[in-house]
């Protein structure tokens, strides 16, 4: 399985503190109809940190069922507990996911050797294509390019990385050390163009919850080396990319989807609704993009 293009980091719609299955299925259909390349349930954007294991598994099942093989599903299955990551990844494989996205262990801050051991353990127990999710701003641990290169060589199941360090030099070194067959995906929408210009394969996107066709189009333009179109889309999307981080993800994207009547607005604590001043700034961006 090769992961490339635009993968949406799906929100998880809630209603009365329960998973809103109908809304989730409609959102997945919206994504596929607009031309998205793949789907990622149960990531940060999906509020996986506040879902029970049963809810986590249910969301993965719904996504796989609704996608129906039309686009690949890269299921979020990471944990800072290796045995828990093994269990969730094994479930994703059994459910029919095409691969698993695993955040690096957070809070306990493993060494680089510990990160490698973690992924070796998951790979050894599950034998499913694995994409490392490197987001040091949330985990407290940065997977260094040398470590990614080691995993690419030593763990056949590790076939890619979602790189959310925001450091284009680090991303360049990851591509250099991991080789041309390794799928390096942007973990931030604002680096899609520079990342793909140096050999990256695509993005796991927050913005594509709102504009799946445009983000997929940007990835396609980059892959086809149409830099004029790629730059055009990059700058058109830039204000929305910034707006998605006016507050912690996924608060802005869920708020935006509610404002354009694509989803209800409900979070799980400790996430709360946007502060009024930030919501006004978000509305201004949406208005300028003719989304309201």
The single residue of 133, 254, 262, 279 carrying the catalytic annotation is 133
109 is catalytic: no
C-alpha to C-alpha distance for 79 and 53, rounded to whole angstroms: 11
Counting Cα atoms < 13 Å in the Cβ hemisphere of 219 gives: 27
C-alpha to C-alpha distance for 72 and 166, rounded to whole angstroms: 25
Q: Are 217 and 205 in contact (CB under 8 A)?
A: no
The single residue of 93, 162, 254, 279 carrying the catalytic annotation is 162
C-alpha to C-alpha distance for 62 and 267, rounded to whole angstroms: 20
Give the angle subtended at the CA of 239 by the CAs of 50 and 188, to the nearest 5°: 45
162 is catalytic: yes
C-alpha to C-alpha distance for 183 and 167, rounded to whole angstroms: 17
Active centre residues (catalytic): 133, 162
């Amino acid at each position: 399985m090769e992961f490339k293009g635009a993968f949406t980091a799906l929100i998880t719609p809630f209603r009365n503190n329960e998973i809103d299955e109908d809304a989730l299925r409609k959102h997945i259909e919206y994504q596929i109809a607009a031309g998205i390349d793949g789907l990622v349930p149960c990531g940060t954007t999906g509020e996986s940190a506040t879902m029970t294991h049963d809810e986590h598994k249910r969301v993965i099942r719904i996504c796989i069922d609704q996608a129906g093989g039309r686009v690949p599903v890269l299921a979020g299955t990471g944990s800072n507990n290796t045995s828990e990551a093994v269990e969730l990844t094994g479930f994703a494989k059994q459910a029919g996911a095409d691969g698993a996205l695993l955040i690096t262990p957070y809070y306990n801050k493993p060494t680089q050797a510990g990160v490698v051991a973690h992924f070796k353990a998951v790979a050894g127990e599950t034998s499913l294509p694995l994409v490392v999710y490197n987001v040091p701003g949330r985990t407290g641990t940065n997977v260094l390019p040398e470590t990614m290169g080691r995993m690419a060589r030593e763990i056949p199941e590790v076939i890619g990385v979602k790189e959310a360090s925001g450091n284009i030099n680090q991303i360049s070194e990851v591509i250099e050390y991991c080789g041309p067959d390794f799928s390096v995906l942007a973990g931030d929408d604002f680096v899609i163009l520079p990342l793909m210009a140096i050999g990256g394969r695509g993005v796991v996107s927050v913005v594509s919850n709102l504009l799946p066709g445009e983000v997929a189009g940007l990835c396609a333009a980059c892959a086809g080396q149409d830099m004029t179109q790629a730059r055009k889309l990059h700058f058109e999307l830039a204000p929305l990319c910034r707006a998605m981080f006016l507050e912690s993800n996924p608060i802005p994207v869920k708020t935006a989807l509610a404002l354009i009547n694509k989803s209800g607005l409900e979070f799980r604590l400790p996430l709360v609704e946007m502060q009024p001043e930030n919501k006004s700034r978000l509305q201004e961006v949406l208005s300028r993009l003719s989304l309201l």
